[in-house]
Amino acid sequence: MFKLCGLQFLLVIQWAMCQNLGDLNLAGPLKDMNFTIPEGAGVRPIYQFISETPVIFRATGEKDGIIDVVPKTGMLYLNGSLDWETKAVHRLQVECLDENGDVVKGPYAVTIYVEDINDNPPKFDQTSYTGVVRQNSRAGKPFMYVHATDLDDPTTPHAQLTYSILHHFPNPYSEMLFQIDSTTGAISPSRTGSFYLDPQKQDTFTLVVAVKDMAGMTENAFTSSADVIIDVKESLWKAPPTIYIQENSTETHPVNISQVHSNEADVIYELFEKEALARFPFSIDRNGVIYVTEPLDREKKDSYSFFAVTKDSVGELVDKPLQIQVIVKDINDNPPVCENALTVFEVQENEGGGSTIGTLHATDMDEKDTLNSRLKFSIESQVPAVPASNMFIVQQDTGTLQLRSSSLNKQIAANYSLKVMVTDADFQTICEVQVHVIDINDQIPIFEKSDYHNVTVAESIPVGTVILEIQATDTDEPDTGSSYIVYQVEEGDPNHKFIIETDPETNRGFVKINKALDFETDKVHNLVINATNPEPLVSGVQYNASSRTLFKVFVTNMDEPPIFQQPVYTANVSEDIPVNTLVVKAEAYDPEGDTVRYSLEGDVKKWLKIDSTTGNIYTASALDREYKELYEVDIVASETKNGAQRSKIPLILHLKDVNDNPPQLVMDYPTFFCYPLRGGEKALIQATDVDGYVYFPRITFSLGDDKDTKNNWEISKVNGTYAHLSPKHGNFEEKVYIVPVIINDNGNPSLENKVNLEVKVCQCSSENSCYIKLQHENSKPSVGQAIGILLGVLLVIGAIIGGVFFHMKYKQKNEKKSQQKDAKDQTECVELNK
């Protein structure tokens, strides 16, 4: 598109004025009209409006500097090219004016429709594409799409696109392994590809995909291309990438967070906890979609690890368990916090511009190294605002406060109060800062003594003990950085065994023990101590010998216990290692050079022994992981000359499991069937294995090979620890049957156990439990049993008769005594009456 100007424009107007388009039917009276003009046509007349009376024509509206009308002739013309992509329709109003400028006709609507031409090539929305296809994917099933757009009119063939594959790298077969839908851009395996794609042979392919406009029907169509890189993968069953979940989510739970896909259909998905959590906040549905079931709290737990497993209909694992990792993402729910309620800095009045005054410190409790905890600093106000309102600047990301220029004058302002705003992504906090302008530092600290001589301490002196007090003085302005004294050990302490703290009120220094002393390493410490100020000295003033002092520390020897080379010993051993196998070598030394002897404590199982001279620890008896997987004992090192000087550290044995225990049947409940059998009965039996297993135990069940067992019983697996025992027919008597059951574990090598399982066939109560004694094959008693029963009955009868006889005799005797007493009482009464 362009506009004509200058001489070109005048020539066009002159040409338009001189033209008579009436003979071409391109002229006529002023009225509402529509025109269709192809884009890019350039300068040209469109139509000439004719009036019977002299008038002036005027056009208004969407002329866009390209469309206009010649006032005298009424010629509607273009002075440049139209562009459909810029504007598809131009709407104008044309009217006639008299010589006074009054409208005498119109306005009439003139609409110019721009006709699109094919002047834009199609363009892919990406310069290259990547996709993943699975081995043995179904032919014709799209696994990815490419997409292109065309700026031309979509209602015309100019923007009708077709896709094709130009090249295929590599292409080891006569037919292409991939195909593309010419209309949608969907890429899928071809029939050949569905059969031959194999990541072991070729795991990456590059396709050159082309797109044409004009529906690909003409050689003049525009074409573009893009590379498509395709990775061939073996299995759908793979762990998803680490899942990130924002804490304290307000979404409605459960929320879909990921999905796993099995290589087989109709599997059962389950989640297996790696940690024993009081509440496990995840679930999985039958399609392998993993959900978080409740909002998570990063402050309580910031990550989770668990397994996704697939099982078949009988509970067997189908795929190898996948480990799922979940990270709980922090949200910005903590504002910045000033480290101090008031931060005070000092600066000398002679400091130059750009000098660092100090650093304002603030913290944010949100996750470190994230935007939630990123802090920015800015100065909100300065009081007083003299001699200028912007005396200080603060580094946005560090909080470092600097002088803007060397304009500080204590006579003008001795103190400045600053309000510094500290912000994170959502919150802001104001930190208070005071800057004290102090006098120049032109005096050095001077020690009261140039030599503090010496002190003698034992090597066992506790850390933090004060061993000396020192004093220096500074005559600069009190309570400023120019007069405050910092004491440091300048020489003689490369390992920082000593530290000096200053009393801020008196500038008195306290020399303390910072690290444990060692007579064997250093018997004497010749210390050189200096005294300096936090504020820099003015130019021309330097610290000298008056700011230094000497001090010696003599260390006396103490009898110390042996020291082990490491704080704890660990060893990973298999539980089946032979006796006398070396497990670990303990090493200790005595600081005074005495010989060290080794021993063990806490070896309750007597599994270990130690060479008292070398510290080598061996197995003394067979180990057993099933008793203790982590076995801990103490290694003791003592001096040979003084056994009271001893040290002790732990030894932790991690016992690795071997398959040394056959599985066992659980006999917590009897196995029985109700008589008579009706068919379809099943009894559940369970087996356990005390050996370790990966994720789930796998125990197989089978029956003995004897003919009776095979004819009468069958066994079917339920899952890794349970099976069903079933009778094959209903012709069983009421008695106890011995069924040989063989159980095998999945160890390497596998261990087998043959168990004779007692199975009762009995009459059952309404609660389906046996209630009669089963051993009753002889329904009639023997002769001996009959005689015994008869004698027992006779004895019972005799006892009854004897009891009756005794009772009668006792009753008669009591009646006789009662009669005699009554007669005596009567006689006494008669005598009394007399």
> Which tokens is 514 given?
């910072």
Report pLDDT for 765. Answer: 77
Mean pLDDT across 737-747: 88
Residue 360: band (very low, low, confident or very high) from pLDDT cuts 50, 70, 90: very high
- Give the pLDDT confidence score for residue 49 in this predicted structure: 94
Supply the DSSP string of 771-791, one letter for each residue: -S-S-----S--HHHHHHHHH
What is the three-class DSSP state of 684? strand
pLDDT at site 140:
79
Model confidence band, residue 52 (pLDDT cutoffs 50, 70, 90):
confident
Task: Give domain 664-770's CATH architecture.
Answer: Sandwich (2.60)
Report whether pLDDT(588) > 60.
yes
Least confident of 455-464, 573-582, 762-771: 762-771
pLDDT score recorded for residue 834: 42
Q: Half-sphere exposure of 485 toward its Cβ, with a 13 Å CA cutoff? A: 30
For the whole model, what pTM was predicted? Answer: 0.38
Least confident range of 406-410, 499-503, 572-576, 693-697: 693-697
CA atoms within 13 A on the CB side of 568: 7
CATH assignment of 446-556? 2.60.40.60
Please report, for residues 256, 590, 599, 621, 635, the alpha-carbon distance to residue 651 in angstroms, rounded to integers and kept in the order given: 46, 20, 12, 17, 7
**pLDDT surpassing 60 at residue 758:** yes
Q: Name the average pLDDT for the chain.
A: 86
The 3-state DSSP class for residue 478 equals coil
Read off the tokens for 764: 């059952």
* pLDDT surpasses 80 at 156: yes
Residue 35 has which token pair? Answer: 């025109």
CB atoms within 10 A of CB 335: 16
Average of per-residue pLDDT across 617-645: 91
pLDDT at 433: 97
Domain edges within the chain? 27-115, 123-233, 243-329, 337-438, 446-556, 563-656, 664-770
> What's the rounded mean pLDDT across residues 463-477?
94
436 vs 416: CA distance, rounded Å: 7
Q: What percent of the chain has pLDDT over 70?
A: 89
Domain covering 337-438 assigned CATH 2.60.40.60 in the classification: yes
DSSP state of 133: E
d(CA 566, CA 615): 13
In this predicted model, what pLDDT tens digit does every residue of 765-774 receive, in sequence order? 766 778 655 4
Over the range 541-572, which residues count as b (16 or more CB within 10 Å of their CB) and which as e? eeeeeebbbbbebebeeeebbbebeeeebeee
**Mean pLDDT computed over 284-302:** 91
Write down the pLDDT at residue 781: 56
The band of 807, judged by pLDDT with boundaries at 50, 70 and 90, is: low
Q: Which residues contact 813 (CB under 8 A, 6 or more apart)?
A: none
**pLDDT at 258 > cutoff 60:** yes
Q: Which of 110-114, 120-124, 309-313 has the lowest mean pLDDT?
A: 309-313
CATH of 563-656, one of 3.40.640.10, 1.20.140.10, 2.60.40.60, 3.90.180.10: 2.60.40.60
Please give the Cα distance from 60 to 72 (Å, whole number). Answer: 16
- Give the residue-averaged pLDDT of 104-111: 93
The lowest-confidence range among 190-199, 526-535, 634-643 is 190-199
Instruction: Say how far apart CA 657 and CA 627 lie, in whole Å.
Output: 11
pLDDT over 90 percentage in the chain = 51
pLDDT for the residue 785 = 60
CB contact at 8 A, 659 and 751: yes
Categorize the per-residue pLDDT at 71 as very low, low, confident or very high, splitting at 50, 70 and 90: very high
CA atoms within 13 A on the CB side of 751: 13
Question: Which position has the higher pLDDT, 7 or 17?
Answer: 17
Q: What is the pLDDT of residue 819?
A: 52
- Contact present, 551 and 453 (Cβ < 8 Å): yes
Instruction: Give the pLDDT band (50/70/90) at residue 778.
Output: very low
CATH architecture for the domain at 27-115: Sandwich (2.60)
Q: In the prediction, which pLDDT does 524 show? A: 96
**Cβ atoms within 10 A of the Cβ of 386, count?**
13
H/E run at residue 811? helix 783-833
Is the pLDDT assigned to residue 336 strictly greater than 50? yes
CATH of 123-233, one of 3.60.15.10, 3.40.50.2000, 1.10.3720.10, 2.60.40.60: 2.60.40.60
Average pLDDT over residues 470-492: 93
Write the CATH number of the domain with boundaries 243-329. 2.60.40.60
Residue 561 neighbours by CB under 8 Å, 6+ apart: 590, 637, 638, 639, 645, 646, 647
- Same fold for the pair 337-438 and 446-556: yes
Residue 731 has pLDDT above 70, yes or no: yes
Q: How would DSSP label each residue in 70-121?
A: -TTT-EEEESS---TTT-SEEEEEEEEE-TTS-EEEEEEEEEEEEEP-S---
Structure confidence at residue 446 (pLDDT): 96
Cα distance between residue 454 and residue 439, in whole Å: 37
CA-nearest of 231, 227, 228, 225 to 163 is 225
More reliable by pLDDT, 560 or 492: 492
Asked whether the beta carbons of 435 and 475 are under 8 A apart, the reply is: no
Residue 17 pLDDT more than 50?
no
Tell me the β-bridge partners of 528: 491, 550
* For residues 240-248, average pLDDT: 93
pLDDT at position 267 is 85
* Residue 20: predicted pLDDT: 46
Which range among 225-234, 265-274, 493-502 shows the weakest confidence by mean pLDDT?
A: 265-274
